[in-house]
Structure 1
């Protein structure tokens, strides 16, 4: 890490418990967030219910984390730290400034609410690592920063907008998928690098873009998440066709919690249908840029077992982008550009509402 930086970049991720001792704290932060745990209840009841659910779920989640082999916790924080280290090197090479890149989490530790994370400005820049805008991720992050500093950071010069609709991101994602199937990736850079390969030409398999689901209640409030995913996948598929891919593409959603209606189709249903038809299946985590519980365990183990159980001919988990060099170079370019081109409320446009501290609010 550099010393006496002239610029600081703060990578923001959702978070994950680093050890089993942090699981309940992580869940409590998660379910206490009004943009994540969005229920039509008085605030004091919603918070009490959130804490009850966190305490109740902690033992079950602890078993799952223990099975992953990362010391009882999640690798998401350490994987984000790897991205930070690489980004710092890239930024220091690209600019004349001295950069320090640090990580923060909206749930768990290191917590974005801590004093070490300073107010966004042209020298302290925040980059949420969510490709698509969602109320439960990007708007949640902006609301936390607004609550901490008194104003939304969009337009401050210290914020990097989400990047999932950028043509270059589509090109990089398609190339990454192509390089995975043609054995061009450095396997040592990825956790639990998938050893399975499809027993067919990769250009003909069914490719599922699996995104983290959100309650339809958020979509009805104006969240453009589903629209952004559909548009992004359409563009990525067009780029994949240039590499010769000719198979069928599917969008589905994973990680549903509770009885409420969530975004559909569910990835479990999509895999079941395709496997019953004897298809060759590959799953790419379109809404994640770091491997963690939901990519390694849910996709890599549960979805694989489901494929075999339902009669699928092959199953492949494609890794998240992680420290893929072209991706990090793309992020560095976005950081240097920042939010200078934004002169309107992204939250209202993409999430359905402006925050109280919006500088563009009418």
Structure 2
């Protein structure tokens, strides 16, 4: 019998909030051709010629603001989640990061050392994106071909539409906002360049990037359309939470460079709503399952500062799913479903 194992994969983190470690991390991250998808010579010029000479010190200061005594929040929270999932399963569960010292190779090796020959990879991203899920899948394939040819990999598709995930996310939002007073809820997702959406369009041109095709259900490109999956996540949460039209919206954050990225932008929306008289805002970040630099510093600190500067008063940030029991159960359910399918195939 082949032994099964599970590899949870998150983004990653610098080893410490120092310019040296941040620079090393950013180099690996930004040199990924699925993150900055330009010719290698242009990527080297941009990343190593410009960004790495200016950003590490600034980013290190940002990381220092959110760093925990135990280490990087994203790493600590991911480890807590992995432990909860492992407690509920009788197959090995390992944790790896796409970037940083907790490498995918180490995660795969940990499972292989325990005798695993069938591994289910679970990227901890509810929505598919070229710069998140796809880069994990591609890197895993490269590592398996080079170092673990005896291992069979089962990929996990985007899970934004799973009922148990929707229930867990809705519960987390409802609990966080139970005693909060707010006029508008902002659903903020990590940003990607518009060209990433077009490159992921398996219909080669059906995506119109006009905000309309995202809501036409049944289109084949939606399996890999990040924008559609974000928009539908917001729609699903609005339905579950009973939100009225006009009291919620979808935005995108963390843009880089001068090319057009998905809009509307989170920071500009916060500023615009504050100027328009919104005094109390709540914000949710459903593209992130673990609190990290983008949620703890960019949203909870910078976002609140922008809001208050333009007259806003209350800015409530909903934590990510992190290591919630119901979210851990979502991952357990994915694994159990995979195992059942494998058993059925073996019997057949």
**Alpha-carbon offset, residue 59 of structure 1:** 1.7
* 2:231 equivalent to 1:226: no
Distance (whole Å) between structure 2 residues aligned to residue 219 and residue 245 of structure 1:
29
Q: 1:116 aligns with which of 101, 109, 112?
A: 109
**Alpha-carbon offset, residue 134 of structure 1:** 0.4
**8 Å Cα contact 1:7/1:123 also seen in 2:** yes
* 2:7 equivalent to 1:10: yes
2:166: which partner in 1?
170
Distance (whole Å) between structure 2 residues aligned to residue 73 and residue 176 of structure 1:
24
2:145: which partner in 1?
150
Distance 1:47 1:113, change over 3 A: farther
Distance 1:274 1:339, change over 3 A: farther
Distance 1:263 1:148, change over 3 A: same
Greater mean alpha carbon deviation, residues 251-260 or residues 117-126: 117-126
**Alpha-carbon offset, residue 175 of structure 1:** 1.5
2:189: which partner in 1?
211
**Alpha-carbon offset, residue 158 of structure 1:** 2.9
Distance (whole Å) between structure 2 residues aligned to residue 209 and residue 289 of structure 1:
14
2:311: which partner in 1?
311
**8 Å Cα contact 1:31/1:50 also seen in 2:** yes
**Alpha-carbon offset, residue 178 of structure 1:** 0.8
Over residues 308-332 of structure 1, what are the superposed CA-to-partner deviations in whole Å (9 max), with x where a residue is unaligned?
1111242101100111111111111
**8 Å Cα contact 2:252/2:266 also seen in 1:** yes
**Alpha-carbon offset, residue 145 of structure 1:** 1.1
Residues 1-362 of structure 1 aligned to structure 2 (within 5 Å): 7-19=4-16, 20=18, 21-39=20-38, 41=39, 43-47=40-44, 49-52=46-49, 53-70=51-68, 74-91=72-89, 98-114=90-106, 116=109, 123-150=118-145, 158-182=154-178, 197-198=180-181, 202=182, 205-221=183-199, 222=201, 224-241=225-242, 248-279=247-278, 280-338=280-338
Distance (whole Å) between structure 2 residues aligned to residue 227 and residue 286 of structure 1:
13
Distance (whole Å) between structure 1 residues aligned to residue 312 and residue 128 of structure 2:
33
Over residues 34-53 of structure 1, what are the superposed CA-to-partner deviations in whole Å (9 max), with x where a residue is unaligned?
110111x2x34434543333
Distance (whole Å) between structure 2 residues aligned to residue 227 and residue 246 of structure 1:
18
**Alpha-carbon offset, residue 180 of structure 1:** 1.4
Which blocks of at least 5 consecutive residues in structure 1 are unaligned? 92-97, 184-196, 343-362
**Alpha-carbon offset, residue 150 of structure 1:** 3.2
Q: Following TM superposition, where does structure 1 have runs of at least 4 consecutive aligned residues deviating by more than 6 angstroms? A: 119-122, 244-247, 339-342
**Alpha-carbon offset, residue 339 of structure 1:** 9.0
TM-score (norm 1): 0.77
**8 Å Cα contact 2:67/2:73 also seen in 1:** no
Greater mean alpha carbon deviation, residues 261-270 or residues 55-64: 55-64
TM-score (norm 2): 0.80
**Alpha-carbon offset, residue 174 of structure 1:** 1.1
Distance 1:16 1:171, change over 3 A: same
**8 Å Cα contact 1:157/1:338 also seen in 2:** no
Q: SS at the partner of 2:104?
A: coil
Over residues 190-249 of structure 1, what are the superposed CA-to-partner deviations in whole Å (9 max), with x where a residue is unaligned?
xxxxxxx43xxx5xx2110000000112112125100111112111110001xx778711
Distance 1:35 1:179, change over 3 A: same
Structure with greater proportional helix content: 2
Distance 1:7 1:255, change over 3 A: same
**Alpha-carbon offset, residue 74 of structure 1:** 3.1
